[in-house]
């Protein structure tokens, strides 16, 4: 956007144009490329809004105006028209149910921009970023749940530029207020139905749990059996399954779960029966391996018994040093870090390495071998060939090693790849509790279900190290009682927990974040690496809450 454009636009519109431009969108971009998905026509938002929209449509009858309702993902879910000719006009610009209108994909408009800034915005004619929208005038206002303060959607009223009327804004705001009140009333009714369903079965011998949108009910057996960390897993099961299935809870207990929906969107009842006794996950992992995956711990312990040389790989913060400590066990450990080469000089560093390999009787750990200059990597390879000393090497992921570093990796007997934390989301509640116990031993601190869901939803580019840092900050702020999502909010993306990813979406999320990391955050190059268009990448990043 040039200086002249910025001077003639209102500040809020100019800022939106800059965001649209930074996303790689062009004013000439077509609208027929916008992605359309199926929508939930029984959602709480639609049920609350439908009577209000119907009443508003009566007042718009015969006019060239239309109403558009978008959900919390900025996806259009309903429309009302003053004339059917308006419907054809909206179809031509892809303003159809199931289409997602974000600033990355549709520029400045009264659905995407209120969604972005969380307040009412009017966009008139040439203020639209895309040329295809410039013949319209529109006003959009966010819909916020009165109890949870969560953004539920955006309501928009649109017409041609000739239909501009200053009374459209208060007309729309009144409708938004009515929808918000109906959302509140609907939540209360849903809670009443969930409570009635729970009370009818709560005295059974088995554990009974009821999960609503903002309510959790449990009998005494469920309180003893189900950890707050299990709620996210059960909610996912409740969305996709009915009947009976088997699950493993975070305590290690295998249970049979009977799933029953309670009316329409009121919530879900779960009846759980253990099929075998619980076991302590920590007992499987041991002290040093408390933060490491069980399969990695097993391989490291097997290598320790035979004193085999091991290459430990993974992203920074995945626990490479902890893995080396577990490998050493009770044997003495001597460490030398490749990051020290610039400070010590290649010769001094090599002398130190050779002294350790020749004289140390325990485990010699060479940290960060991917940082070694090729000459030193080759020298370390020769040492591995010539010496019988017990060594462990740590490095970045194996797939990223090249040349001399790949040749060095090939000279180890065992390889242990540590997964990124984003690939271990099911383990995050247990990891968080383990870390919390180490940060505040003997305290009464406990992570609530909301806090655990928030932690499980984060991208964690810094892996275990970042998780521990977030928990340490929370411990500083709260020394006793429950750590809630609010306590974690300064360090976490609060919006991330509101969107639970399916297995397919999680795989998509991980592929995109890995591509972005590999390309240094360059979205154009990341799209090329993934084999998709730039606009598709932006669309998926918004849908999956990727902010990189």
Q: Which of 157, 168, 152, 186 is nearest to 71 (CA)?
A: 152
Whole-number Å distance between alpha carbons of 402 and 357: 24
Query: Would the pLDDT of 199 be above 60?
Result: yes
Predicted pLDDT of residue 278: 42
- Dihedrals phi, psi of 290, to nearest 5 degrees: -60, -25
Q: How many CB atoms lie within 10 A of CB 420?
A: 21
- Whose CA is closest to 463, among 338, 353, 314? 314
pLDDT of residue 108: 95
Q: How far apart are CA 323 and CA 357, in angstroms?
A: 20
Q: What is the pLDDT of residue 285?
A: 37
pLDDT for the residue 286: 39
Q: Are strands 136-144 and 254-262 parallel, antiparallel or unpaired?
A: unpaired
Residues 250, 412: Cα–Cα separation, whole Å: 35
pLDDT over 50 at 179, yes or no = yes
Region of poorest pLDDT, from 73-87, 303-317, 533-547: 533-547
Report pLDDT digits (tens) over 235-251: 878 776 567 888 888 77
> Does residue 527 surpass a pLDDT of 80?
yes
- Over residues 320-337, mean pLDDT: 92
3-state helix, strand, coil in the chain (%, to 5): 50, 20, 30
- CA distances to 220, 224, 225, 230, 369 from 207, in Å: 7, 9, 7, 13, 51
| Range 73-95 average pLDDT | 89
d(CA 274, CA 437): 27
Q: Are 499 and 545 in contact (CB under 8 A)?
A: yes
Q: Which pLDDT belongs to residue 153?
A: 95
Name the band, by pLDDT with cuts 50, 70 and 90, for residue 477: confident
Range with lowest mean pLDDT among 9-18, 141-150, 202-211, 411-420? 202-211
pLDDT digits (tens, 9 = 90+) for 86-144: 888 888 888 999 999 999 889 999 999 999 888 999 999 999 999 999 999 999 999 99
Average pLDDT, the chain: 84
* Residue of 431, 541, 433, 466 whose CA lies nearest to 496: 541
Residue 337 pLDDT: 94
d(CA 393, CA 262): 55
- When mean pLDDT is compared across 218-232, 277-291, 476-490, the lowest value belongs to 277-291
Block residue for tokens 């984060």:
458
Share of the chain above pLDDT 70, in %: 91
The pLDDT tens digits of the residues spanning 342-395 come to 999 999 999 999 999 998 989 999 999 999 999 999 999 999 888 889 999 999
Q: Identify which of 306, 354, 365, 355 has the alpha carbon closest to the alpha carbon of residue 332.
A: 365
Q: How much is the pLDDT for 6?
A: 56
Q: What is the largest CA-CA distance in the chain?
A: 92
Q: Do 364 and 391 form a contact (C-beta atoms < 8 A)? A: yes
502 has pLDDT over 70:
no
Q: If we measure between CA atoms, which residue out of 327, 332, 335 comes closest to residue 352? A: 335
Cβ atoms of 87 and 81 closer than 8 Å: yes
Residue where the block lists tokens 């990124």: 420
Distance of CA 356 to the CA centre of its chain: 44
Give the whole-number percent of the chain exceeding pLDDT 90.
Answer: 34
């Amino acid at each position: 956007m040039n200086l002249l454009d910025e001077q003639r636009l209102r500040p809020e519109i100019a800022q939106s144009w800059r965001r649209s431009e930074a996303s790689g969108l062009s004013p000439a971009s077509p609208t027929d490329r916008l992605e359309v998905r199926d929508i939930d026509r029984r959602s709480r938002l639609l049920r609350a809004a439908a009577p209000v929209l119907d009443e508003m449509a009566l007042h718009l009858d015969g006019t060239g105006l239309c109403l558009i309702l978008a959900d919390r993902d900025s996806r259009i879910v309903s429309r009302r028209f003053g004339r059917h000719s308006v419907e054809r006009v909206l179809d031509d610009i892809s303003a159809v149910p199931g289409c997602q209108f974000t600033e990355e994909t549709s520029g400045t408009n009264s659905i995407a921009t209120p969604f972005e800034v969380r307040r009412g915005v009017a966009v008139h004619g040439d203020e639209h970023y895309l040329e295809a929208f410039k013949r319209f005038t529109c006003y959009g206002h966010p819909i916020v749940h009165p109890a949870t303060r969560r953004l539920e959607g955006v309501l928009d009223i649109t017409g041609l530029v000739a239909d501009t009327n200053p009374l459209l804004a208060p007309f729309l705001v009144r409708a938004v207020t009515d929808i918000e009140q109906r959302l509140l009333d609907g939540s209360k009714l849903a809670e009443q139905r969930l409570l009635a369903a729970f009370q009818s079965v709560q005295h059974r011998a088995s554990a009974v749990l009821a999960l609503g949108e903002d309510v959790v009910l449990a009998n005494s057996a469920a309180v003893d059996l189900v950890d707050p960390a299990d709620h996210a897993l059960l909610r996912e099961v409740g969305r996709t399954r009915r009947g009976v299935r088997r699950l493993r809870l975070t305590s290690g207990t295998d249970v049979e779960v009977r799933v029953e929906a309670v009316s329409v969107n009121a919530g879900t009842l779960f009846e759980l029966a253990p099929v075998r006794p619980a076991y302590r996950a920590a007992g499987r992992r041991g002290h040093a391996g408390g933060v490491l995956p069980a399969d990695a711990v097993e391989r490291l312990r097997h290598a320790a018994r035979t004193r085999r040389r091991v290459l430990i790989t993974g992203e920074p913060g995945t626990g490479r040093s902890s893995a080396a400590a577990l490998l050493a066990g009770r044997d003495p450990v001597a460490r030398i870090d490749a990051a020290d080469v610039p400070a010590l000089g290649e010769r001094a560093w090599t002398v130190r390495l050779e002294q350790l390999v020749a004289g140390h009787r325990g485990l010699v750990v060479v940290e960060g071998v991917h940082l070694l200059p090729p000459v030193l990597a080759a020298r370390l390879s020769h040492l591995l060939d010539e010496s019988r000393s017990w060594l462990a090497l740590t490095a970045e992921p194996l797939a990223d090693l090249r040349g001399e570093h790949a040749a060095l990796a090939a000279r180890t007997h065992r390889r242990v790849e540590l997964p990124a934390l984003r690939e271990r989301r099911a383990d995050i509640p247990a990891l968080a509790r383990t870390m919390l116990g180490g940060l505040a031993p003997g305290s009464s601190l406990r992570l609530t279900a909301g806090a655990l869901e928030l932690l499980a939803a984060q991208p964690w580019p810094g892996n275990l190290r970042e998780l521990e840092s977030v928990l340490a900050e929370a411990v500083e702020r709260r020394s006793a009682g429950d750590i809630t999502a609010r306590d974690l909010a300064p360090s976490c993306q609060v919006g991330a927990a509101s969107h639970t990813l399916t297995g397919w979406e999680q795989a998509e999320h991980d592929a995109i974040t890995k591509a972005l990391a590999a390309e240094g955050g360059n979205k154009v190059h990341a799209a090329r690496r993934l084999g998709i268009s730039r606009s598709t990448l932006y669309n998926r990043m918004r849908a999956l809450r990727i902010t990189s």
